[in-house]
Amino acid sequence: MSRDPLEPLVDLPGVRDAAESARDALGAVHRHPVNLRGWDKTSRESSWRGGRSSAAMEGATTELNREHDFDDPVMAGAIRVAQALDPDSLDKEVAVFRRAPAQSLAHLHTLAAADLVDDPERLGRPGSDPHIGPRLDLLVQLITTEHPNVPAPVVAAVVHGELLALRPFDQGNGVVARAVSRLVCASSGLDPHLLGVPEVTWLRHLADYQEKSLNFATGDPEALGDWIVFCCRALEAGATEAASIADAARA
């Protein structure tokens, strides 16, 4: 049997410890008294904060109009994606993601880019570049394959980085990539209720996020490790954000 291609990544400097810290932090916040009973409310707030932060990373504005809707098309799309990952829809989205990741990607892109593309036929459809199809196929295989010896935070970081590097769609790739990272966390059991809000940290350190994701795309082992550790630390910080949400709900 061939070795899991992700396994060597776990041995890169700092990766194993960062992944364990992220897992422990998210596990602890799921045991928060509020989240034991009212996780649906805190998860919804997490999705909302994550969506807003994800859109802001793309330069979107957060201003609401008189109808309490977002005028910014990127923000509007990110909020639609966030709603697809809130407690009312998450189980269905995870089920599709596990069974047919390409279908889930298409759905997320349709939500994210509905107000961004001129031709609705482009929604959910990858670009025509000949390298996109084969790489998406590999990514789908990566998502649907079990990785028993690879911590879930590592898988989430790799899938996230691959989508940012590939940019399979004409618009909305960043929002989709971060949403897919969330789905990996949910479907793997790392963050089953999506309580964490890593997007807040990625937004705060946007220059590092952009630089490290570009370096990840080179395939250099040091760059791969840096990106994975960076993502794991954001997941850990996202658990702290989740704890503050739960504390506020208890107050």
User: Identity (one letter) of the amino acid at 43?
Assistant: S
**Residue 70: beta bridge partners?**
64
Instruction: Give me the pLDDT at residue 251, please.
Output: 63
Q: Which two tokens stand for residue 201?
A: 């940290």
The Cα 7–Cα 159 span in angstroms is 14
Residue 107: count of CB within 10 angstroms of its CB: 20
The Cα 92–Cα 59 span in angstroms is 30
Phi, psi of 70 (to 5 degrees): -90, 130
Task: Identify the sign of the CA torsion 140, 144, 98, 38.
Answer: negative
User: Mind listing the pLDDT tens digit for each residue in 126-162?
Assistant: 988 899 999 999 999 999 999 999 999 999 999 999 9
What CATH superfamily classification does 7-250 receive?
A: Fido-like domain (1.10.3290.10)
244: left (phi over 0), alpha (psi -120 to 50) or beta: alpha
Instruction: Give me the pLDDT at residue 64, please.
Output: 55
pLDDT block averages, 10 residues each, the chain of length 251: 86 98 98 95 96 95 60 92 95 96 97 91 89 94 94 98 96 97 98 98 98 97 98 98 94 63
CA atoms within 13 A on the CB side of 17: 4
- What number of helices (H) and strands (E) belong to the chain? 12, 0
Instruction: Give me the pLDDT at residue 2, please.
Output: 63
> Tokens 């990539």 map to which residue?
177
CB 42 within 8 A of CB 242: yes
CB 174 within 8 A of CB 54: yes
